[in-house]
Copies of this chain bind each other. A is one copy, B any other.
Amino acid sequence: MSSHGKEIAIALGKLLRRDVRQRIYVSLTDGVGEGVNESTYPVLSGLERCGSATAAELSAVLGLDRSVVSRHATTLEEAGLLNRAPDERDRRWTALTLTDAGKRAVEVMRERLHESIDDFLSEWPDDQVSVFTTILTAFTTNGPIADRTP
């Protein structure tokens, strides 16, 4: 019944710091390729998860305006990491799809991320890591952090 709110609040505060965020994304994206940075990474990553999507669909997933996604898509397109194509379902839409180079870039960054996380977690017993993962996932899905808009 002890209260961990304070400790968690401190840890959360660190995570939300701009310089910390920046360091995370720089370590992820450094040297991966032209146009890949803190801002464009989520578009690249989100596209990999969705397979293929429109700017509007991605904007909902990423919590960004569709105009922002469109601009980042242009950057990534110019870098040869994604393609634009007319969407057959509705000719108002534009389907965004990763190129092979785009897929490779995501692969590299994912591996960096997962490896650095797993490296750190290897210090802890696996059952404790499972608990950590479960609660952290719940925290960002149903917790005080989650979107409550219906």
Question: Is A95 part of the contact surface with B, judged by Cβ < 8 Å?
Answer: no
Determine which of B15, B118, B130, B143 lies in contact with A5 in the assembled complex, contact meaning CB atoms within 8 Å. B118
Q: Please, how many residues of chain A have a CB less than 8 angstroms from a CB on the other chain?
A: 59
Q: Is A13's CB under 8 angstroms from B42's CB?
A: yes
Known contacts A5-B118, A144-B119; is-contact A63 B11 (Cβ 8 Å): no
Q: Which of chain B's residues have a CB closer than 8 A to the CB of A93?
A: none
| Chain A interface, >50% SS class | helix
Q: Is A145's CB under 8 angstroms from B110's CB?
A: no
**Interface hub of A5, A6, A10, A24 (most chain B Cβ within 10 A):** A5
Determine which of B14, B42, B62, B130 lies in contact with A140 in the assembled complex, contact meaning CB atoms within 8 Å. B14
Q: Pick 8 A–B contacts, CB within 8 A, sort by A.
A: A6-B110, A8-B117, A8-B137, A11-B137, A12-B15, A14-B140, A17-B63, A19-B64
Instruction: State the A residues within 8 Å of B (CB).
Output: 1-21, 23-24, 27, 42, 45, 62-64, 110, 113-121, 124, 126, 128-133, 135-145, 147
Given A3-B114, A5-B115, A11-B137, 11 more A-B residue pairs with CB atoms under 8 Å apart are A4-B117, A4-B129, A4-B133, A8-B136, A9-B117, A13-B42, A17-B63, A18-B63, A18-B64, A23-B145, A120-B142
